[in-house]
């Protein structure tokens, strides 16, 4: 059995242009969310067929 990671949380990445929740990622929240993730990530949006800015969305 795999060990459950303490201090990690699953969050969704939401496209800033379409509003779609395209990716679910696990982030380390032990020391706060990293600065690189707070600003957003450039990820591929299948609806627009190009890379767009995706920001963190908690469900």
- Span 6-58, pLDDT tens digits: 788 899 999 999 999 999 999 888 877 778 788 899 999 999 999 999 999 98
- Return the pLDDT at 53: 97
* Token pair belonging to 53: 């800015």
Q: Which residues make Cβ contacts (< 8 Å) with residue 3, sequence separation at least 6? A: none
Residue whose token pair is 């459950």: 4
Question: How sure is the predictor about 2, in pLDDT bands with cuts at 50, 70 and 90?
Answer: low
pTM above 0.85, yes or no: no
- Return the pLDDT at 48: 96
């Amino acid at each position: 059995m795999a060990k459950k990671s303490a201090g990690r949380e699953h969050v969704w990445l939401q496209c800033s242009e379409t509003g779609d929740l395209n990716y679910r990622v696990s982030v380390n929240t032990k020391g706060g969310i990293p600065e690189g993730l707070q600003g957003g990530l450039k990820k591929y949006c299948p609806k627009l067929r190009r890379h767009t800015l995706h920001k963190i969305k908690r469900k």
